[in-house]
Structure formats: C-alpha cells, structure tokens
Amino acid sequence: MQRLKGMAVVFFLRILAFLPLSTARLVGRGFGEVLYRCRSRACAVAQVNLALCYPNADPQWRDRVCRARMTHLAQTAFETPGLWRHSMPWLHAHIVDIVGKNCFEASLEQDSGTIFLIPHQGNWEVAGLWIAQYTRMTSLYEPPKLAALETLVKTARERSGASLVPTNARGVAALLKAIKAGQSTGILPDQQPPESGGIFSPFFGVPALSMTLVHRLLQRCDARVVLCAALRKPGGWSLHFTEADGAIYSSDQAASLDALNRGVEQIVNLEPEQYLWEYKRFRKQPIGSPSVYDNLNNR
C-alpha cells in the first residue's frame, strides 16, 4: 500500500512539473485559500505560532499573515515540481533580484569555506539549487518518508552540483571535511533537532530547541556564515544574502545559538507571510513547561 501511495504521489508531481510557473502559483493560491477558509490543521498551527512570536501585533494583522501564509504554502507545493524538472538556465531566468550579492560573492572568495543558513522561508529549494551552481556544496540529506520520492528529490537536488550526505556522524564528518577544503554547505537552521543535538534558545522570545550543529562546526573550522532566502516574487524569486550576527562565532554555545536564531528572525521579518509557520517549531519545551499545541491535539 505504501509503495502504491508513493507511486501515485510521484505521478502527480510529474504532472505538476509541466505547469507553467504562473499557472502553478495560481492553482496554489486557490488551494491555499481553501486551507485558510476550512481552518485546516496547518492554518491552526500557524495561528498558534504567530500569536506566540508576535504577541503584541494586531490580531487582524496576524490573521492576514496566516491567510497569506496558506497561499504561499500551497504555491510552494505546486511550483516545486517544476523547479525540480527545469534546467539551470530556467532558474537563472526566474531570479528577478539578488539582494546582498556582494555578501555572497565575498563568501566564495575566501578559502575557509562557507556555511549557508537557509531558513524555511519562501522557497528554500530555489536557494539551494542556485548556490550550488557557484560553489562545491555538501549538504545533509534525510530521505523522504515515501521511498518512491527519494530518486526524484535526490536527483533534483544533485543536478546543480550539490553532494548529499546522510544525517548521521559520517555525514557531519563529510560536511566538516568539505568546509575545511574551502567548500560550502547549506543547512536548514530552524528545524527542531533531536534532544541530543540541541539546546533551548529563544526564537522570537519563545524557548525553541535549536540545533547545535552549526556551533560545533564553527568550533572546528574558520568558515564564514551567511544567511539566505529565496522570496517569492512576480515572475520568480528574489534572493537575499546577509552576514550572520558576529556572536554566532562565539565559543559560548548559548551565545552562538542565540545569534543563529536572531539571524533566522531577521530573514523571517523580510516577509513573515512566506515563513513556515505551520511547522510545530515549539513542540519541545523545557521540562515543566506545558505544550503550546495542547489545544490542537483533537484536530
């Protein structure tokens, strides 16, 4: 049954891949509106996260951001199969702007390697594919839950030159080796790690179990850290590059993680409606603290 489900999903994605970008986004906006109007689970989680992260904002503003987020969520889903199918020249033609290009170019001129932090903002697949054309890039890769998707996703991510390594000790060792050789890595810094690989650090003022991987890498190399996002714009995407907060290089782990989360906040605030608010970022809380998603358990 799982195999048939995977085959059906892959078939559907291959069909979507032939939609023009404008059409994929139009359909996505329609689906997103349904997600909002039906008060889907994704919408409910987004509303909780927005209330936690912007407690002083006008509730109507938070609701508008949530509604817009549902349309961006669906647009990402509908546009990504085409992104995976198309050539690199197609991607270049749909990069409508690059903000902080000097920051990106400077990071590649040094010999000590670069860690690109790519939060779940806009379409992070765009950022990874684009960067990998200009630098040898090694990134951690966790196979999708549906095995049938693995070939599709892995082939798409590697076609621009990226090397994917497993999310284990061997994979981390490969990352470190690549960085020390002056290469780059792309890391999604706002995922909740296993408890053994994270500590709590404030994210928009809320305790969030945050990965220690970046700090551990920086303690063993002289890499430069750059944050990046690909924001959805009419006709394509706008790339944004910015230097990380200097405290991220601190030997103090807590200070480093606080700086990492501040950097992610800065990227999110570029366009809050394009951030992955439907992800249960605060699922784990310090011992003794209640779950922030308790009211969603019956949904």
Give pLDDT tens digits for 63-103.
Answer: 999 999 999 999 999 999 999 999 999 999 999 999 999 99
**Residue 1 pLDDT level (bands cut at 50, 70, 90):** low
What's the confidence (pLDDT) of residue 93?
97
* Number of Cβ atoms within 10 Å of the Cβ of 143: 13
Stated length of the chain = 299
pLDDT confidence tier of residue 275, bands split at 50, 70 and 90:
very high
pTM: 0.94
| pLDDT at position 260 | 98
Query: pLDDT tens across 107-123, in order?
Result: 999 889 999 999 999 99
Higher pLDDT among residues 191 and 162, named by residue: 191
DSSP assignment string, 64-132: HHHHHHHHHHHHHHHHHHHHHHS-HHHHHHTEEEEETHHHHHHHHHSSS-EEEE--SBB-HHHHHHHHT
Exposure of 18 by Cβ count < 10 A (0-12 exposed, 13-18 middle, 19+ buried)?
exposed
What's the average model confidence in pLDDT over 182-192?
Answer: 95
117 contacts 218 by C-beta, under 8 angstroms = no
What CA–CA distance (Å, rounded) separates 270 from 275? 10
- Nearest residue to 78 via CA among 17, 144, 122, 127: 17
CA distance 168 to 163: 15
pLDDT digits (tens, 9 = 90+) for 235-258: 999 999 999 999 999 999 999 999
pLDDT tens digits along 21-72 = 999 999 999 999 999 999 999 999 999 999 999 999 999 999 999 999 999 9
> Which residues on adjacent β-strands are paired with residue 98?
239
Separation CA 23–CA 15 (nearest Å):
13
